[in-house]
Each structure stands twice: as C-alpha cells, then as structure tokens.
C-alpha cells in the first residue's frame, strides 16, 4: 500500500523558474501511487514543456480552456471535482493575486474558482523573488486566499535564480509530497500541542568520549511527522541523531539527559501530549574531564564515577497537569526480553496511562518495528510494519484516548 494509492491530484503549474522542480514533484506523486492531472498556465509553458509533464504524469497536459481537442468541454468544472487534492506548484505572485480576487481568465484559475471548497483541499506552493514575497500586496493576497480556504505551504529561504538570497523559494519536491500526504490524513489532533523526545542522549566523559546507545531516533521522528499530519503543533526534542526534521515540526537539539530535561521543561507547560520515545542514558559521569583522558595518565576509566540521570518522563508524569490528565503522557519501553511484563511494570513505575513496549535490539536503526501498546486494562500488539505506519496508528490511538 502506497501513501497516495487511489488519490487523484490536480497539479497546477504557474510561470516561475521553479517549474523545473515540478517535474520531480510529478514523478514523486506518481511513484507514491497517485494519478496526476497536470494543468499549466501559458506562462508555465515558457519554463517547462507540456511534453515533459505529460511524459512524467502519463496523461495529456491541459493548458487552455479553449482547446477544442479536449475530450471534456467542461474541463474547468470537472477537473477540481474529480480531484482529491489540487496542488499549485509553483504558485506565482500573479496567480495568488488572481485567486484572491476570484479571477478566472485561464484554465487553472477557472478550475480553482470552480473547486468545491469544503471537499477538495487547495494547496499553494508559492515561488517568487524575496521582494515580491514580502510585498504588502502579496502578503495581503496570501491572507485572503488562506481565509478563503486555501492552504499556503510557505516558502524556503536561500539563493534565488535572480541572484538574491532570502524567502520565496518553492519548497522542495520531497517536502511538497509530504505536504500532500499530510493533508489527506485525518486531523485527529487538530489544534493540539505535542511534545516528543527522540533519539539517544550522549553523556560526556571527556571532550572526545561519552556514554550513549544505539537509538537512531527513527521511531520518534516518525511519530513527530504523524502527529503533525494529524493537525498537531509538534515540538521534537532530539538527541544526537542524523535525521531530517519532518516538515513543519519545531526541533530542539540536545545532547545530554540534563539538556533534554531542560528542553522538555521549557516546552511542557503548553503541551497537551508528551510522547517520550528517547532512549535516555540512565547514568552520566559525575565529572567531565576538560581534556582528553590519556590511557597512561590521569584518571583510569575503571574509576569513572557515575550518577543517575533524572527520569524525564516520570518527572513530567508527576506534574499537577499530568495528574489532572490535562497533559497525556506516553512512554516507550525499550526492552530486550519479557516485553509484556517489563512494559507493564514500567508503566506502573513511571505513572503514565500508556506505555509502548518494543524490543530495542530488534528496532534500533531499523525502518520497521513491532509495538506492544499497554494501558491499565490490557495490551494490544501493532504487528511488524514501517515506523511511519505504526506512528500513524499510535497517534490515532492517543487521539482516541484523549477524546478526539
């Protein structure tokens, strides 16, 4: 099962140099299982040929409402009605202005105006020069189209084709694919704030060494993405991992357990849910050597004195808001044996309503996982699946328990 199986996407292109990215975007949408109907403005055809988009979408590309060869004489009405999502990428400043005023003088603006607003999401991926982006007229028009029900996906910051550096780059094709997938997910956590810990922690011994573990952070990052897809505002406190931040997620990087506790404490007051997936190191050295410990001098490793780290999840679970259930706490038990018994015992010990058990050595660094979801009445297994699929199931489960 692919993320966009059975989904029909209208991909609209306006005139912008960013059209070169739309070829890759079209490929990604098709690879994800979608059927893609490309519609181009005349200006877009100056930047990329309809033939290129036709070859990639495997469907005739539509460029005009006056084309007598088109099978459907009412294409401007039917195109958006048949779509699950309309995505305009790139969306030029001029096209945003047209949308804001309800103008409909070409096929793409016609189909946007004729789209059933409540049934078919309209996603806009703006692309323009920084001065055009920041111009009050553009910002005013963006506010108008957003108020009219369009989703403005924001822009990247960086070098522009015009030589300027700043805001206005179209988001990358992979980010846009994620946005399309996200907009089709049920919004079971709409308006909720979710705080997630992920990855290992690193407890320094000296400037070059430390205590850590094999957690990759993949499960926590997948949960962050799934929570954001479900409509939540997500803050991800990440230990040292080499993973890309899911689009739209606020990330706070930390190294040690104490730093992770500090970051969690900073953000917890506004959170509705804490999902603690981090594999927090249980101990840290009492003192950190300021220079590298040499093997023939100084402190031998045998005399390394450790102290226990704070338990972040247990601390938060005992806070007044968590005890009143205004903050829903979820833990992840990483075990190597006796999964059910260990997870049940850990749930009790940490005082959380939900503890998710998994076998650490089998899942650290992997793309798949198997989860055991344990609460006060029983347990349920989520069988082996990609971490993102499991994350979406878990988010649905959490939303359900929160009354969503």
Footprint of ligand CTP (CB under 6 A)? 197, 257, 276, 278-280, 282, 309, 311-313, 331-334, 346, 350
Of 168 and 285, which has the nearer Cβ to ligand CTP? Answer: 285
Say if CB 388 and CB 226 are below 8 A apart: yes
Of 103 and 370, which has the nearer Cβ to ligand CTP? Answer: 370
Shortest spacing between CB 285 and ligand CTP, in angstroms: 15
Say if CB 10 and CB 80 are below 8 A apart: yes
Strands 165-169 and 193-198: unpaired
Of 75 and 223, which has the nearer Cβ to ligand CTP? Answer: 223
Shortest spacing between CB 334 and ligand CTP, in angstroms: 4
Say if CB 108 and CB 63 are below 8 A apart: no
Shortest spacing between CB 188 and ligand CTP, in angstroms: 22
Q: Which of 19, 91, 112, 162 is catalytic?
A: 162
Of 56 and 334, which has the nearer Cβ to ligand CTP? Answer: 334
Shortest spacing between CB 230 and ligand CTP, in angstroms: 20
CB-neighbour burial class of residue 377 (10 A; exposed 0-12, middle 13-18, buried 19+): exposed
Residue 105 contacts by C-beta under 8 Å, 6 or more apart in sequence? 98
116: helix, strand or coil: coil
Say if CB 243 and CB 231 are below 8 A apart: no
Of 185 and 256, which has the nearer Cβ to ligand CTP? Answer: 256
Of 60 and 360, which has the nearer Cβ to ligand CTP? Answer: 360
Residue 95 is classified by DSSP as: H
Shortest spacing between CB 181 and ligand CTP, in angstroms: 27
Say if CB 80 and CB 114 are below 8 A apart: yes
Shortest spacing between CB 204 and ligand CTP, in angstroms: 16
Q: Residue 162 catalytic? A: yes
Say if CB 207 and CB 197 are below 8 A apart: no
Of 257 and 263, which has the nearer Cβ to ligand CTP? Answer: 257
**What angle is formed at CA 399 by the lines to CA 314 and CA 401, rounded to 5 degrees?**
65
Of 172 and 282, which has the nearer Cβ to ligand CTP? Answer: 282
> What's the CA gap between 399 and 392, in Å, rounded?
11
Shortest spacing between CB 311 and ligand CTP, in angstroms: 4
> What's the CA gap between 8 and 37, in Å, rounded?
8
Say if CB 312 and CB 271 are below 8 A apart: no
Shortest spacing between CB 372 and ligand CTP, in angstroms: 12
Of 121, 222, 132, nearest in space to 170 by CA: 132
- Give CA torsion, residues 321, 324, 328, 331, to 10 deg: 90
User: Per-residue DSSP letters for 175-240?
Assistant: HHHHHHHHHTS--TTTT-EEEEEESB--EEEETTEEE-----SHHHHHHHHHHHHTT-EEEEEE-S
Say if CB 79 and CB 25 are below 8 A apart: no
Q: Which residues are catalytic?
A: 162
């Amino acid at each position: 099962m692919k993320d966009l199986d059975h989904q029909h996407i209208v991909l609209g292109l306006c005139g912008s140099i960013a059209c070169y990215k739309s070829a890759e975007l079209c490929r990604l949408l098709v690879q994800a299982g979608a059927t893609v109907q490309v519609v181009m403005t005349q200006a877009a055809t100056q930047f990329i040929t309809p033939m290129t988009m036709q070859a990639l979408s495997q469907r005739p590309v539509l460029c005009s409402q006056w084309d007598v060869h088109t099978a459907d004489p009412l294409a401007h009405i039917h195109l958006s009605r048949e779509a699950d999502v309309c995505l305009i990428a790139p969306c030029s400043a001029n096209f945003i202005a047209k949308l804001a005023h309800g103008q409909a003088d070409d096929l793409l603006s016609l189909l946007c105006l004729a789209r059933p607003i409540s049934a078919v999401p309209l996603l806009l991926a703006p692309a323009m020069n920084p001065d055009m982006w920041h111009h009050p007229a553009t910002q005013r028009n963006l506010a108008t189209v957003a108020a009219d029900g369009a989703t403005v996906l924001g822009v990247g910051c960086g070098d522009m084709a015009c030589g300027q550096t700043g805001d206005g780059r179209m988001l990358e094709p992979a980010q846009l694919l994620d946005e399309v997938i996200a907009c089709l997910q049920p919004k079971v956590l709409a308006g909720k704030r979710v705080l997630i810990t992920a990855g290992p922690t690193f407890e320094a011994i000296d400037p070059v060494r430390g205590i850590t573990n094999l957690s990759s952070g993949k499960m926590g990052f997948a949960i962050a993405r799934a929570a954001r897809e479900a409509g939540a505002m997500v803050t991800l406190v990440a230990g040292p991992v080499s993973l890309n931040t899911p689009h739209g997620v606020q990330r706070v990087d930390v190294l040690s357990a104490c730093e992770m506790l500090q970051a969690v404490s900073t953000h917890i007051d506004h959170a509705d849910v804490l999902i603690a997936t981090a594999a927090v190191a249980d101990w840290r050295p009492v003192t950190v050597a300021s220079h590298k410990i040499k093997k023939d001098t100084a402190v031998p490793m045998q005399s390394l004195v450790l102290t226990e780290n704070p338990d972040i999840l247990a601390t938060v679970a005992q806070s007044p808001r968590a005890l009143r259930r205004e903050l829903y706490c979820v833990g992840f038990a990483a075990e190597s044996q006796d999964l059910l018994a260990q997870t049940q015992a850990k749930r009790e010990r940490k005082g959380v309503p939900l503890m998710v058990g998994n076998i650490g050595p089998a899942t650290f660094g992997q793309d798949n996982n198997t989860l055991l979801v344990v609460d006060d009445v029983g347990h349920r297994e989520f069988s082996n699946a990609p971490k993102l699929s499991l994350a979406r199931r878990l988010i649905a489960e959490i939303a359900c328990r929160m009354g969503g």
